[in-house]
């Protein structure tokens, strides 16, 4: 049965993280000297502290040395972290999620060795250079997919079993901090789309692996002098492989059958990102409620003015609905064999992501409006919450592509295999 | 009915469009991306625009200005804002106080302040009403309560007034040569009876600029604290009469308030024009899975909405400008200002949706328009502003 009652363990974990965020994350994250500049370096000390609390290994199975959190518990934790700092939260969500999925596909000996390294080093993060040809599939609405994905790295097996990887991936979340990078490579050049793809693990120090510098917050250009800004939560960078050799035992799962970018692990990741997004909306809302309770105008605290009360109620409604959707999607992923009734035919993880991004965007704007002019001042947190909320619109595919994917699902449309552009 | 611009209005429009395209737009993103509050400001562009008449556009012809009508002002603001919303505002902010000087100041005051304003390309002005606990973001104070409204204190001392207190978020605060400052000359009565408007040159002893605000949007545009520590203002700098702040500064007889409402709405038209053009260009040049965005129905629906909202706003703005030129006053100026908040937010958001993010990157100008639009939420479309407009509906 679908159950919204949190367990004592979940409640305790939530309290622990909330306390950590209040004491350790918010003070550095919201300091005016960090809020004002465009460039906001990752809070490395906070990330280390979170790691020491076990959050890097949150979803790693207990048998392997982690906390074994299911998707719902992970979402509860991610909401709290998102209320503190979205970049730290996203970095941890990536590492924790990958820890759960990539080690299990290894042979016993390399699994043990890499797990030991991972567990023993608080600065050991994980990344995946994933290939998802269906990422923009919604735009091919009710039509076969045209694969216009950037070229995928290739790998060729050597006589001793090693692999040699060549190619680049333009956006790899967590790459700047990762000590182990999973990469989906094409190992069967005769196949297209998702077929013939293999996942290999590449340690950071491997010769031939280059993590490019992260795109600057502002000041960069591309193409015809188009000014661009960084639009991403958490560390991310391009990764290049040049005759990069990895041992044959760094193969995850079976050759030619990589599923990481498309399976339940990806769906789970999407719901956890939505939970980080939710945390962001919640902290904007809580900040506005606190302020409205002390700011006096017109002889009373502004929370007692209808126009402010209406805004805050709108925030509360949206956040409650978003959390319900996230928890439901998480619960369904945690119980794959259970029939959930309504909505079963829908990709609930996509529904959760799209609704949360829209809801939180509105919440951050409404919260900022409660602050009047202070809502746009760069030494105050509200303008950052608004900006962070907008970036979540594009954290996976665009809203429109996602909606079209939902529409295809409800129509029962099954897309034929990808065609090459 | 005749919706066409006359030759003079059209001339200003062409001139403004050219200046926006050739001078403003090329530096728009670069200035926006400079860190800090004061730093994005650039006197060079102000001087260039001033030489073409954009700083002094609203100064009446009899005082040596171009004396442009409201329709021209609206058209020019929109054209300049299409290049950069904040730079457009930096010019038009001066028009507001040109109206005020023309309608409420004595000939002696015009001689002392309007002439140097006309002569110096770097002379800009601002108005100080808002304080940390009072001002335009005030949550509907009971108007007759003496405790409501601005608190900056002015005490008479012979031929001078001594001002103490501070103003907050004041436009052009860090770069202005002259400020119109509302002060309480009698704190025991309500702000209408006990408020007086003073002209404060930046060289006034005891007056200084405090914090310069570092904002998310309109980064070029300056907002600062003004600090008064026994600042001495000659009685000759009182605008209107003592205890007449509301009448001289806010009443419809000055034109200042009416213009202020029109200003934000007209500026929004330019930002929306920019967003529409960016989206059209982008949608026709970029494909998603093999198909131009312009051919995708969801994108077409967004483009349709953006264009309809932009044209509807333009029509409303031009109608209000025309009404001002006819001397007809109504609640429409306030209503169009409020509504421009909804339009600019929606249109810049749709522009962002159409562009989307590519990898971990976003077009910097798409983001800038969204950030600039956010400024409207507290300047033009705050719930207080919306509720206040109802008072004008008879």
Is position B194 within any domain?
yes
CATH number, domain of B150, equals 2.40.110.10
Q: Which helix (H) or strand (E) covers residue A264, if one does?
A: helix A264-294
CB A398 to CB B353 under 8 A?
A: yes
Quote the pLDDT of residue B51: 98
**Nearest CA among A316, A362, A308, A402 for reference residue B346:** A362
Interchain CB distance below 8 Å, A136 and B289: yes
The whole-number pLDDT of residue B254 equals: 40
* pLDDT score, position A257: 83
Residue of A nearest to B170 (CA): A373
Question: What local confidence, expressed as pLDDT, does residue B250 receive?
Answer: 44
For residues B45 and B136, membership in a common domain is answered with no
Same domain, yes or no: B172 and B227: yes
Contact B374 A383 (CB under 8 A): yes
Residues B278 and B388 grouped into a single domain:
yes
| pLDDT above 90: residue B43 | yes
Q: Tell me what pLDDT residue B252 has.
A: 41
Full residue range of the structural domain in which residue B101 is found: 7-119
Look up residue A383 and give its two tokens.
């303008």
In a domain, residue B2? The reply is no
Q: Are residues B283 and B374 in the same domain?
A: yes
Whole-angstrom distance, CA of residue A414 vs CA of residue A412 = 6
Residue B294 pLDDT exceeds 70: yes
Average pLDDT over residues A3-20: 93
**Six-digit token pair at B235?**
């009685």
B251 is a domain residue: no
Task: Give the confidence band of B359 by pLDDT, cuts at 50, 70, 90.
Answer: confident
Smallest CA–CA distance, residue A251 to chain B, in Å, is: 27
Last residue of a domain, one of B90, B119, B148: B119
Q: Do B361 and A229 touch (CB under 8 A)?
A: yes
| CATH number reported for the structural domain that contains residue B109 in this entry | 1.10.540.10
Pair B105, B142 in one domain:
no
Higher pLDDT, B20 or A297: B20
Confidence at residue A289, expressed as pLDDT on a 0 to 100 scale: 98
Size of interface A-B (CB pairs under 8 A): 150
CA atoms of A92 and B203, how far apart (whole Å): 55
DSSP class of residue B233?
E
Same-domain pairing of B350 and B268: yes
Answer whether residue B73 is part of any domain: yes
* CATH label of the domain that carries residue B387: 1.20.140.10
- At B246, is the pLDDT very low, low, confident or very high (cuts 50, 70, 90)? low
Question: What average pLDDT does range B305-314 have in this prediction?
Answer: 98
Lowest model confidence (mean pLDDT) among A2-16, A275-289, A353-367: A2-16
User: What's the average model confidence in pLDDT over A279-294?
Assistant: 97
The last residue of one of the domains, among B68, B91, B119, is B119
In order of A140, B289, B291, B302, the CA distances from A143 in angstroms are: 5, 11, 12, 22
The predicted-structure confidence for A163-174, as pLDDT tens digits, reads as follows 999 999 999 999
CA distance A238 to chain B (A): 10
Label the pairing between strands A146-147 and A300-301: unpaired
Considering CB atoms only, which of B29, B299, B378 is closest to A372? B378
Task: Kindly state whether residues B282 and B183 are assigned to the same domain.
Answer: no
- Mean pLDDT across B81-102: 93
Q: Which residues of A touch B299 (CB under 8 A)?
A: 400
For the segment A292-301, the average pLDDT, to the nearest whole number, is: 87
Partner residue opposite A377 with nearest CB, options B35, B215, B370: B215
Q: At what angle do helices B70-83 and B25-32 cross, to 10 degrees?
A: 60
A-chain residue closest to B299, CA distance:
A400
Strands A226-230 and A209-211: unpaired
Backbone Cα Rg of chain A = 22
Based on the fold, state whether residues B139 and B113 are members of the same structural domain.
no
Question: Chain B contacts of A216, Cβ < 8 Å?
Answer: none
Chain centroid to Cα B390, Å, comes to: 21
Average of per-residue pLDDT across B371-388: 88
**B392 — pLDDT class (breaks 50, 70, 90):** confident
Using CA atoms, how far apart are residues B42 and B31, in angstroms rounded to an integer? 8
What chain B residue is nearest to A214 in terms of C-alpha separation?
A: B360
Tell me the Ramachandran region of residue B360: left when phi exceeds 0, alpha when psi lies from -120 to 50, beta otherwise. alpha
Per mean pLDDT, which range of A14-23, A59-68, A189-198, B72-81 is the poorest?
Answer: A189-198
What value does the mean pLDDT take over residues B75-88? 98
Does residue B261 lie within any of the structural domains? Answer: yes
If asked whether residues B319 and B357 sit together in one domain, one would say yes
Q: What pLDDT score was predicted for residue B149?
A: 83
The DSSP bridge pattern shows strands A146-147 and A419-420 to be parallel
- For residue B255, the model assigns a pLDDT of 42
Asked if A227 lies within 8 A of B364 by C-beta distance, the reply is yes
- On whether the CB atoms of residues B316 and B323 are closer than 8 A, the answer is no
A 347-366 → B contacts, CB under 8 A = 365
pLDDT of residue A260: 66
The beta-carbon neighbor of B361 closest among A38, A230, A308 is A230
| Total tally of structural domains belonging to chain B | 3
Q: Which of B119, B144, B165 is the last residue of a domain?
A: B119
**Could you give the residue ranges of the DSSP H alpha helices within B69-162?**
70-83, 85-104, 107-109, 115-119
Contact A330, A71 (CB under 8 A): yes
Yes or no, beta carbons of A148 and B290 under 8 Å apart: yes
- State mean pLDDT over A181-189: 93
- Return the exposure string of B148-174: e unless at least 16 CB atoms fall within 10 Å of the residue's CB, then b: bbbbbbbeeeeebbbbbbbbbbbbbbb
CB A264 within 8 A of CB A193: no
Note whether B188 and A392 are within 8 A (CB).
no
SS3 A172: strand
- Residue A75 CA neighbour count, 13 Å, CB half: 30
Mean pLDDT score of chain A, rounded to an integer? 92
pLDDT digits (tens, 9 = 90+) for B98-144: 888 888 899 999 999 999 999 999 999 998 888 887 765 454 566 77
Tell if the CB–CB gap between A227 and B288 is shorter than 8 Å.
Answer: no
B250 found inside a domain: no
Which residue among A38, A375, A399 places its CB closest to the CB of B378?
Answer: A375
With CB atoms and an 8 Å threshold, state whether B363 touches A227. yes
Q: Tokens in use for A374? A: 């202070």
Shared domain check, B141 and B46 = no
Q: Which member of A373, A377, A399 has the closest CB to residue B214? A: A377
Q: What is the 3-state secondary structure (H, E, C) of B4-29?
A: CCCHHHHHHHHHHHHHHHHHHHHHHH
Q: Give residue for tokens 């005759």.
A: A243
In a domain, B35, yes or no: yes
Which residues are CB-contacts of A234 (< 8 A; sequence separation ≥ 6)? A42, A86, A87, A88, A89, A90, A91, A93, A94, A173, A174
Instruction: List Cβ<8 Å contacts ≥24 apart for B192-196.
Output: B192/B143, B192/B245, B192/B246, B192/B247, B193/B243, B194/B146, B194/B243, B195/B149, B195/B150, B195/B243, B195/B245, B195/B246, B196/B154, B196/B238, B196/B241, B196/B242, B196/B243, B196/B244, B196/B245
CB-based contact A308 B382, cutoff 8 Å: no
**pLDDT tens digits for A298-345?**
778 999 999 999 999 999 999 999 999 999 999 999 998 877 666 667
Answer whether residue B257 shows pLDDT above 90: no
pLDDT of residue A418: 56
Mean pLDDT of chain B: 91
- Given a cut of 60, whether residue A4 has pLDDT beyond it is yes
Q: Which residues of B touch A399 (CB under 8 A)?
A: 353
B386 and B263 within one domain: yes
Q: What's phi and psi for A107, nearest 5 deg?
A: -65, 155
* Subunit contact B361:A136, Cβ cutoff 8 A: no
- Domains (range + CATH), chain A: 8-120 (1.10.540.10), 125-252 (2.40.110.10), 264-420 (1.20.140.10)
User: How close is the nearest chain A Cα to the Cα of B35, in Å?
Assistant: 6
Residues B180 and B203 in one domain: yes
> What are the CA-CA distances from residue A332 to residues A121, A220, A329, A343 (Å)?
33, 42, 5, 11
Q: Give the nearest chain B residue to A381 (CA atoms).
A: B216
Q: Count Cα atoms within 13 angstroms, Cβ side, for B124.
A: 28
A297 inside 8 A of chain B by CB? yes
Average pLDDT over residues A397-415: 88
Secondary structure letter of residue A214 according to DSSP: P
Longest dimension (CA), chain A: 82
């Amino acid at each position: 049965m679908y159950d919204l009652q949190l367990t004592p363990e979940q409640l305790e974990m939530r309290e622990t993280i909330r306390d950590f965020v209040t004491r350790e994350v918010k003070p550095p994250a919201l300091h005016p000297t960090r809020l004002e500049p465009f460039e906001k370096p990752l809070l490395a000390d906070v990330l280390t502290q979170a790691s020491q609390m076990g959050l890097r290994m949150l979803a790693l199975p207990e048998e392997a040395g982690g906390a074994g959190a299911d998707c719902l518990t992970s979402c509860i934790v991610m909401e709290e972290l998102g209320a503190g700092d979205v970049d730290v939260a996203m970095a941890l969500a990536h590492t924790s999620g990958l820890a759960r999925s990539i080690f299990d596909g290894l042979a016993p000996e390399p699994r043990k060795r890499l797990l030991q390294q991972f567990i023993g080093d608080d600065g050991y993060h994980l990344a995946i250079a994933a290939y998802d040809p269906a990422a923009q599939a919604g735009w091919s609405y009710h039509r076969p997919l045209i694969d216009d994905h950037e070229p995928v790295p290739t790998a060729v097996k050597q006589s001793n079993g090693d692999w040699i990887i060549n190619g680049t991936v333009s956006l790899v979340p967590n790459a700047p901090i990762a000590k182990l990078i999973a990469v989906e490579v094409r190992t069967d050049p005769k196949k297209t789309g998702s077929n013939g793809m293999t996942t290999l693990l590449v340690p950071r120090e491997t010769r031939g692996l280059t993590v490019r510098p992260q795109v600057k917050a502002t000041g960069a250009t591309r193409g015809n002098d188009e000014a661009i800004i960084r639009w991403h939560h958490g560390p991310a960078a391009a990764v290049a492989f040049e005759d990069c050799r990895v041992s044959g035992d760094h193969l995850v799962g079976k050759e030619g059958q990589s599923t990481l970018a498309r399976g339940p692990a990806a769906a789970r990741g999407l719901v956890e990102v939505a939970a980080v997004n939710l945390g962001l909306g919640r902290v904007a809302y809580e900040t506005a409620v606190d302020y409205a309770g002390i700011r006096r105008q017109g002889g009373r605290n502004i929370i007692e003015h209808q126009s402010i009360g209406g805004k805050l109620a709108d925030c509360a409604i949206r956040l409650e609905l978003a959390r319900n959707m996230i928890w439901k999607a998480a619960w369904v992923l945690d119980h794959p064999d259970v029939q959930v009734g309504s909505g079963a035919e829908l990709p609930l993880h996509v529904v959760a992501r799209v609704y949360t991004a829209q809801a939180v965007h509105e919440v951050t704007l409404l919260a900022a409006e409660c602050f009047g002019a202070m809502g746009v001042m760069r030494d105050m947190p509200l303008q950052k919450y608004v900006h962070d909320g907008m970036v979540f619109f594009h954290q996976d595919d665009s809203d429109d592509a996602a909606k079209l994917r939902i529409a295809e699902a409800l129509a029962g449309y099954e897309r034929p295999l990808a065609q090459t552009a | 009915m005749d919706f066409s611009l006359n030759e003079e209005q059209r001339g200003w429009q062409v001139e403004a469009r050219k200046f926006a395209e050739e001078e403003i737009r090329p530096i728009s993103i670069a200035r926006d991306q400079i860190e800090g509050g004061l730093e994005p400001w650039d006197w060079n562009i102000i001087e260039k625009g001033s030489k073409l008449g954009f700083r002094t556009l609203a100064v009446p012809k009899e005082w040596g200005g171009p004396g442009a009508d409201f329709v021209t002002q609206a058209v020019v603001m929109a054209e300049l804002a299409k290049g950069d919303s904040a730079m457009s505002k930096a010019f038009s902010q001066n028009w507001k106080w040109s109206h005020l000087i023309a309608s409420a100041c004595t000939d002696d005051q015009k001689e002392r302040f309007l002439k140097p304003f006309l002569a110096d390309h770097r002379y800009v002005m601002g108005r100080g009403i808002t304080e940390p606990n009072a001002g335009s973001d005030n949550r509907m104070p009971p108007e007759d309560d003496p405790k409501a409204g601005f608190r900056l204190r002015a005490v008479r001392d012979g031929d001078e007034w001594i001002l103490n207190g501070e103003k907050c978020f004041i436009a052009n605060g860090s770069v202005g040569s002259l400020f119109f400052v509302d002060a309480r000359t009698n704190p025991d009565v309500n702000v209408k009876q006990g408020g007086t408007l003073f002209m404060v040159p930046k060289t006034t002893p005891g007056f200084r600029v405090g914090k310069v605000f570092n904002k998310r949007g309109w980064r070029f545009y300056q907002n600062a604290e003004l600090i008064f520590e026994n600042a001495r203002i000659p009685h000759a700098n009182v605008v209107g009469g003592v205890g007449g702040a509301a009448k001289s500064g806010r009443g419809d007889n000055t034109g200042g308030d009416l213009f202020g409402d029109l200003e934000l709405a007209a500026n929004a038209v330019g930002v929306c024009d920019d967003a529409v053009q960016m989206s059209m260009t982008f949608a026709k040049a970029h494909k998603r899975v093999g198909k131009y965005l312009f051919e995708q129905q969801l994108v077409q629906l967004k483009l349709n909405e953006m264009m309809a909202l932009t044209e509807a706003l333009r029509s409303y703005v031009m109608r209000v400008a025309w009404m001002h030129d006819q001397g007809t006053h109504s609640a429409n100026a306030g209503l169009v200002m409020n509504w421009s908040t909804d339009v600019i937010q929606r249109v810049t958001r749709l522009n962002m949706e159409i562009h989307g993010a590519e990898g971990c990157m976003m077009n910097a100008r798409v983001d800038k328009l969204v950030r600039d639009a956010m400024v409207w939420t507290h300047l033009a479309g705050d719930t207080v502003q919306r509720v206040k407009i109802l008072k004008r509906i008879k």
